[in-house]
Amino acid sequence: MGRDEREAAGRGARLCDAARNVVADHGRAVEAVRAALAPIHDAAVRRDLDAIPVTRLQDVTEGRLRLGSVEQSGLRTVGAVLDAGSYRLRQIPGVGQRTVDQMLAAARRLSDAVHETVAVHIDVDRPEPETTALVMALHVLVEAGPEARRAVDRAGALAGRLGPLLADAGPAAGWFRMLLAGREKKARAMAAVTEIRSLLDEAERAELPVLFAQASVDLLRGPSSDLAAWADFELRSADYYGLLAEISGRSPDTAAAEGFLPDEIAERVRTQRLDDSQRRVSLRGYQAFGARFALAQRNVILGDEMGLGKTIQAIAVLAHLAAEGRSHFMVVCPASVLVNWIREIEARSALRVLLLHGPDRRDGFADWKGRGGVAVTTFDALRGFPAPGGGEVGLFVVDEAHTVKNPKAKRSQAVAEWAERCERTLFMTGTPMENRVAEFRNLVGMLDRGVAQALDDGDALAGSVAFRKAVAPVYLRRNQQDVLTELPSLQRTDEWEELSAADEEAYREAVRAGNFMAMRRAAYACPERSAKLERLLEIVGEAGENGQKTVVFSYFKDVLQVVRAALADGTAVFGPLTGAVPAARRQRIVDEYAAAPGPAVLLAQIQAAGVGLNMQAASVVVLCEPQVKPTIEHQAVARAHRMGQVRPVRVHRLLATGGVDERLVRILERKTRLFDAYARRSAVAEATPDAIDVSDADLARRIVEEEQARLGLPVASATATATATATE
């Protein structure tokens, strides 16, 4: 046994220590979250128990308890009964020991149920010391990201393999120990050293030492301040709540998260491996199940309700297949979400992505054919591309698949041909299909003719259980109320749209005139060809399909009139609320909107309705354009995202690429997160949302001049028009 063996054993021991340190660092970070969560959770449990009337104990004991004397003694809630305890309860006239025992047992059963089901909600507008501590503890794990979790998993596995080998290789640590070892121990030590060398080589190839070192650094690095943690929480609240649900163990009901699939299909999906090496985002449990469903069943419809992350689940499937060696993928979607798909794939995966749109789409298609990647195109463009050979495309993704339900439409025929030739197909739609069996059968027929032929109109009439059982091999749908028990109450999405030719011409005219306000609303100048308006109608339509109310905000009165005119006949529309509507009348309009049965749309000028009105009936918020002052956006969103809101609020901000919106967003993002967080909590900012920032006019003038230069237009005076007010 020479120096090489001793060195190998030493390197193995150091790598094993590094692996164990990563696992320990992660464990400490998780324990910090649990410690911060405990008092908040206990307080939430206490509030719930104090709100449960003592009469509920009769329900638990099937009416066997007589509680009149207990209530008369002043113990009116389950929390009060638990606080009283056995001794005080026995002092109540007419209450014996048997009744006390039954009462406390029933109260403890209710307490246990509340402990299991109570959800902790983090109020970003009222940060308390306890919630601040929780956000800061979660921040460590969120900042460390999926790479740290991957490092922990690899470290645990490696330490498990190295530990026994290092024990066997003990004699190799020194020549004297080797000399004293018997023949069998020497042989075992030599074999262990050989295996350790193999593991070291494997670890070096996978760059595990670097991965472990970086993970430990990330897990030990805390936020620079509580404001930094709060600001990050607002930006990535979904990640925070996902971790919170995982660590607390209070995940949604398994059957609901798995879409109430039959046991045999659910078990097949659970055992499906999901490779995350090409993915840059963590998945919630139900999202991972959705990705596994698509992989295990091969040709499926993912019908999750809007807001559950269907795009992320699709990207997870793409990333898995890419890690397995598949090279070509195709995504087809409406033109209004092309840019979103490109940005999401770039941000959340390591995959190459190509946009096949516009006059160069055929050149892009040829490039994709030759080099591979994820091609993203529109339904109309897809018709111009030759269908692939069998097995050439690893996954064919169809977003907003309900738009190809008509088999006679050319876009539907093109999709059907591609689906037949691709190895796997994933249809995505947030529109519920349970009561549209004929349309649903057409979609299913593109994926599995056998299931489609077995599906008849009676399945839907028999109820959702019968329907889901009939379509389970190809269809998975989860609803928010079933799986978002700990989900963030606010989800923000930037909807990037490419201007249509008509939009572009209106925009150029506004830039030529140096009119900043006209530039901001140019995307609505030609309603019949407005890309933003088209996406807005899709969002409103999907919300309506799911029985949700929508509020649409714009800075401009004329934009709201355009939206009102474009909404489909039969849509319940309220407003617009503008500065010209008296304050008392504004609240009556909001009350009528809230009282309207089913879906409805409220139109509101952002300055007039962004402060003082409660719109918690709305669970979908659309911002027609970005605002110059971030506080105006935040306060408008807060009208819906406030106490009394029972569903998560989704905010869609409509943005146009390449022009004033992109420049405005980029400039505003340059402000530090800390300043932004502070400003949003400033009493002055909240009291005076319409206060004019002295830099607003300069900001507008600079954007106008930059756009004139970009478009090669003569510079016009922007002074008079850049600071135009919202009365336009």
pLDDT in tens, 149-183: 889 999 999 999 999 998 888 765 555 455 555 67
**Confidence bin at 576 (pLDDT 50/70/90):** very high
Helices marked H in 249-389 — which ranges?
Answer: 254-257, 263-270, 285-297, 310-323, 338-348, 361-371, 379-382
- Flag whether pLDDT at 672 surpasses 50: no
Higher pLDDT: 432 or 386? It is 386
The pLDDT tens digits for 683-695 are 333 333 333 333 5
Residue 379 confidence class, pLDDT cut points 50, 70, 90? very high
DSSP letters along 59-99, please?
Answer: HHTTT----HHHHHTT--BHHHHHHHHHHHHHTSTT--HHH
Task: Give the model's pLDDT for residue 238.
Answer: 72
* pLDDT above 90 as % of the chain: 45
Whether the CA torsion 71, 75, 81, 85 is positive or negative: it is negative
| Per-residue model confidence as pLDDT tens digits over 142-153 | 989 888 888 999
Residue 53, SS3? strand
What residues form DSSP beta bridges with 328? 373
Rounded Cα gap, residues 317 and 424, in angstroms: 10
State the CATH architecture for 490-722: 3-Layer(aba) Sandwich (3.40)
| Predicted local confidence at residue 380, as pLDDT | 93
pLDDT tens for each residue of 358-373: 899 999 999 999 999 9
Task: Pick 445 or 223 by higher pLDDT.
Answer: 445
Tell me the CATH number of domain 252-483, given options 3.40.50.80, 3.60.15.10, 3.30.420.40, 3.40.50.10810: 3.40.50.10810
Q: How confident is the model at residue 721 (pLDDT cuts 50, 70, 90)?
A: very low
| Structure tokens given for 616 | 């918690």
pLDDT band at 301 (very low <50, low <70, confident <90, very high): very high
Model confidence at 338: pLDDT above 50 = yes
Annotated domain spans of the chain: 1-126+141-221, 252-483, 490-722
When pLDDT is averaged across residues 54-82 and rounded to a whole number, the result is 80
Q: How many residues does the chain have?
A: 728
The b-or-e profile of 342-356 (16+ CB within 10 A means b, else e) is bebbeebbebbbbbb
DSSP letter at 42? H
431 or 458, higher pLDDT: 431
% of the chain beyond a pLDDT of 70? 84
The mean pLDDT value for 247-270 works out to 84
Res. 75: pLDDT tops 60: yes
Residue 410 CB partners (closer than 8 Å, separation 6+): 383
Q: Confidence band (pLDDT; 50, 70, 90) for 347?
A: confident
Residue 676 scores a pLDDT above 50: no
What pLDDT score does 71 carry? 83
Q: Which residue has the tokens 């569903």?
A: 647
- Cα gap 21→152, rounded to integer Å: 9
Q: Which residue has the higher pLDDT, 527 or 492?
A: 527
| Topology alike, domains 252-483 and 490-722 | yes
Q: What is the pLDDT of residue 686?
A: 34
pLDDT tier for residue 252 given thresholds of 50, 70 and 90 = low
pLDDT tens for residues 527-552?
999 999 999 999 999 999 888 899 99
Find tokens 């995202």 and name the residue: 641
Q: Please list the alpha-helical segments (H only) found in 464-556.
A: 464-471, 480-483, 501-512, 516-520, 531-545
Structure confidence at residue 684 (pLDDT): 33
- Distance, in Å, from the CA atom of 101 to the CA atom of 96, rounded to the nearest integer, reads 9
276-309: b (≥16 Cβ within 10 Å) or e: bebbbbbbbbbbbbbbbbbbbbbbbbbbbbbbbb
Which amino acid is residue 160, in one-letter code? G
| pLDDT bucket at 720, cuts 50 / 70 / 90 | very low
Rounded to the nearest integer, the mean pLDDT of the chain is: 83
Average pLDDT over residues 5-20: 90
- Given a contact cutoff of 8 angstroms between Cβ atoms, the answer to whether 499 and 531 are in contact is yes
Specify whether the CB–CB gap between 329 and 394 falls below 8 A.
Answer: yes
Q: What is the DSSP letter of 349?
A: B
Cβ-based neighbour number of residue 644 at 10 Å: 8
